[in-house]
Structure 1
Amino acid sequence: MVAGIRASAGFGVILREHGRVLTRITLVLALVPAAPPAHVLRIAPGVVARELRDGRVGATLLEIDLDRARIGVLRPSPGEARARVSEMANRARAVAGVNGDFFDISERVHRGVPATFAPDGPEVADGRAVRAAVPAGQRFGPTAPPGSSGAVIGVDRRGVGRVGRLSLTGTVRAGGRTIRLRGLNQYALPVGGVGLYTSAWGPASRARAFCGNDFVRAAPCTHATAAVLVRDGKVAGTADPGGALPPGADLLLGREEGATALRALHHGQRLRISSALSGSVRFRQAIGGLPLLRDGEPAPGLDARSRSPRTAAGLARGGHRMDLLVVNGGRETGSGETAAGLAALFRRLGARDALLLDGGGSSTLAFRLPGEHTATVRNTPSDGRERPVANGIGVFG
């Protein structure tokens, strides 16, 4: 049991257990400045949960020492488009988890085209590029600040927390011709682009890739499309963009000029396809989000009016501590926190960099205590129940 709590500089705390000072670590759920700690729990070595309460706002702060614990990307199983945070955490044997990036949800603006529930931004899992970012105008969630497309938070190859931006580089080479790749397992392609879809895409239809445009998500779907099946490095014919892929096969989708380029390929033609997510950091684990803090300064244009349940992630102590934050509340009651409020809070926690993750009914924290076998939801989702989401951040003791 924790014997006492002493306030330290800013908003941090030092925990004492039977006279020993515990290492600081941080993940937040619903937090307000200067809220008094109500309960402290040691989850695992390097992971401490701290519940807070101030008026109508409740909070759980999970501090993660990345020198003693690690984080990873939580993903749905191969047969699922999305899953609950608790399910993904338990499947991965994580001690804790929160929801991740904003994702595609059905607005019924593209009749007959189902939602994919795929994330907005890039994703890297175990050093492997899973997907790239959709065009900024196609994003779900808050409007992305200029120049923030492809923003991610995660850990590098040494396990140190980092933020950065990832962009797709890739080509399809067919004989003497080269086609630029402008999509990787993403729910929306740039106008005129070609995208590569692998088994990592999941079970959802890919038809949404032809809808909207680079500036308006609700713009009509284009009819200038092409879908080419690739197997064993060769063109294996055309395919239904909404159907399941045969084992070991990939799919190339093109719209407008991209469709024209794919139609020039012929059956049996050998292709050389390369793709990678490039940036200043080589990430081992990363998910997308929107900037809140960069080098200790708030991102420009943060909303200071709309309060809502929130989830966010921040980095402190030179990337050796990760702070994950989920704010309880409800849009109907006007409770929760603003994006600008979260940025200010992370600064008080000592974070230098932070990203906003999905919020509203998606905001979820699950963890298991020592001796427990399964992680359970520890916050109060605003939907009244746990919402299935596209991905998440898992904490491993």
Structure 2
Amino acid sequence: MMLAMALAPAAPPGSDVRIAPGVVLRDLGGGRVTGSLLEVDLSRARIGVLRPPSGAARARVSDMVNGARAVAGINGDFFDISERSHPGVPATFAPDGPEVADGRPVRGAVPDGQRFGPDAVPGTYGSVIGVDRHGVGRVARLTLTGTVRTGNGMIRLRGLNQYALPVGGVGLYTSEWGPSSRARAFCGTDLHRNAPCSPDTAAVLIRDGRVDGTSDPGGRLPSGASLLLGRDGGASELRSLRRGDKVRISSTLTGPVRFRHALGGLPLLRDGAPVPGLDARSRSPRTAVGLAPGGRRMFLVVLDGRRETGSGDTAAGLAALLLRLGARDALLMDGGGSSTMAVRMPGKPAATVRNTPSDGRERPVPNGLAIYK
């Protein structure tokens, strides 16, 4: 049951509140743009990924922060939220981009043409922001690398817990996928999200290293099991498997950084400059994460908008703000009604929402970024 959202009074304009060692909350009020900033010293505080509780596809940021016993958190990546493009196929509420939690690859990136939210700048597919194995903030691109090896050969993996698979691809689904339907995986194309669903599909259930069935069991996967889904040419490859066949599956997210925790997003700043082509016209509530040179200082920004609390800002305006704060690299997270910052204020038992969500209430989201003492 959804509870009433706890909205905390904003900090006085210009004031700094020390939330925890190395974590400062600052009000960004003043003028047409209002919002909140969390400035984090990564040598004194830790970063993690917020995820919904088991059995849920998404949750409110404040609930995830409290459930994780974090001191603060913001919403994460853009995600599949619409059922209108494919009637009868439920929305999955799964994120667009890669995700890494506790060093484990959780999901890969959907094809660029399938993304929800603004178009990605060319050459930035699979961008993430997070911390590496040493707790240093990093921005990089991650690509899925994986194989399915059988006695008859090898099948390339082109998806990992993704709400959309590339045309002709095979994807791996594990318990990390959660409770949502997997039917959306076969819909759209690599270039057009609203294109029809593929009629040629296949599913293979894997348990204890062997083929245990040739259909999607639906819902949550059985304990210890994984599922291979294929569309078009990928479906043909999966139909070569038979019950009892031995299967060895490997998958990882490869890139220049070994992340401990990371979330997907759209680049705003790269090497101290705004990325080309940022929207400079559409104002909206926005969420972004930036890193100062050296990766030891992180900025988490949430801007209000669409109500009396302010008009939000453009992507270009947010990039300029992050540059003024001292960021060198930054990613744009989901915005609009998803933009949320929840903070456990000093002496308080639970985190409360610091911004004013534009929906008038806190929207459940599939992931977020957490700050720990």
After TM superposition, the score normalised by the length of structure 2 is: 0.95
Structure 2 letter corresponding to 1:278? T
- Measured in 2, the distance between the counterparts of 1:333 and 1:37 equals 13
Q: Does 1:106 align with 2:82?
A: yes
Contact 1:303 1:338 in 2 (8 A): yes
Residue 58 of structure 1: how far off its partner (Å):
2.0
Question: Among residues 246, 251, 262, which one is paired with 1:286 in the alignment?
Answer: 262
| Post-superposition CA distance 1:28-70 (Å, at most 9, x none) | xxxxxxxx94322110000010113213432211110000001
| Post-superposition CA distance 1:175-199 (Å, at most 9, x none) | 1310000000000000000000000
Partner of 1:313: 289
- Measured in 1, the distance between the counterparts of 2:308 and 2:159 equals 37
Matches within 5 A, 1:18-57: 37-57=13-33
Q: Does 1:363 align with 2:331?
A: no
Contact 1:207 1:242 in 2 (8 A): no
List alignment gaps of at least 5 residues for structure 2. 1-11
Question: Among residues 176, 187, 190, which one is paired with 1:200 in the alignment?
Answer: 176
Question: Among residues 243, 246, 269, which one is paired with 2:222 in the alignment?
Answer: 246
Q: Which has the larger radius of gyration?
A: 1
Give the 3 Å change call, closer, same or farther, for CA 259–162 of structure 1 in structure 2: same
Contact 1:241 1:253 in 2 (8 A): no
Contact 2:97 2:110 in 1 (8 A): yes
Partner of 2:317: 341
Question: Among residues 120, 124, 127, which one is paired with 1:144 in the alignment?
Answer: 120
- Measured in 1, the distance between the counterparts of 2:320 and 2:33 equals 16
- Measured in 1, the distance between the counterparts of 2:293 and 2:310 equals 33
Contact 2:285 2:312 in 1 (8 A): yes
Contact 1:40 1:49 in 2 (8 A): yes
Q: Does 1:165 align with 2:141?
A: yes
List alignment gaps of at least 5 residues for structure 1. 1-35
Structure 1 letter corresponding to 2:89? V
Partner of 1:224: 200
Partner of 2:249: 273
Contact 2:216 2:227 in 1 (8 A): no
Question: Among residues 78, 95, 115, which one is paired with 1:119 in the alignment?
Answer: 95
Partner of 2:8: none
SS in structure 2 at match of 1:395: strand
Residue 300 of structure 1: how far off its partner (Å):
1.0
Residue 369 of structure 1: how far off its partner (Å):
1.6
Residue 136 of structure 1: how far off its partner (Å):
0.2
After TM superposition, the score normalised by the length of structure 1 is: 0.89
Alignment identity in percent?
Answer: 74
- Measured in 1, the distance between the counterparts of 2:183 and 2:83 equals 15
Residue 168 of structure 1: how far off its partner (Å):
0.2
| Post-superposition CA distance 1:234-288 (Å, at most 9, x none) | 0001223633311111000000000000001011000010000000000000000
Contact 1:39 1:52 in 2 (8 A): no
SS in structure 2 at match of 1:57: coil
Question: Among residues 151, 156, 176, which one is paired with 2:132 in the alignment?
Answer: 156
Structure 1 letter corresponding to 2:335? G
**Please, which moves more after superposition, 101-110 or 356-365?**
101-110
Question: Among residues 144, 152, 170, which one is paired with 1:176 in the alignment?
Answer: 152
Residue 332 of structure 1: how far off its partner (Å):
10
Give the 3 Å change call, closer, same or farther, for CA 224–332 of structure 1 in structure 2: farther
Partner of 2:278: 302
| Post-superposition CA distance 1:281-306 (Å, at most 9, x none) | 00000000000001001111100000
Partner of 1:353: 329
- Measured in 2, the distance between the counterparts of 1:334 and 1:179 equals 51
Structure 2 letter corresponding to 1:338? T
- Measured in 2, the distance between the counterparts of 1:176 and 1:52 equals 60
Moved segments of 4+, more than 3 Å: 331-334
- Measured in 1, the distance between the counterparts of 2:340 and 2:31 equals 20
Contact 2:32 2:310 in 1 (8 A): no
Partner of 1:9: none
- Measured in 1, the distance between the counterparts of 2:200 and 2:28 equals 54
- Measured in 2, the distance between the counterparts of 1:318 and 1:346 equals 15
Contact 1:308 1:334 in 2 (8 A): no
Structure 2 letter corresponding to 1:171? T
Structure 2 letter corresponding to 1:260? S
Question: Among residues 344, 353, 377, which one is paired with 2:353 in the alignment?
Answer: 377
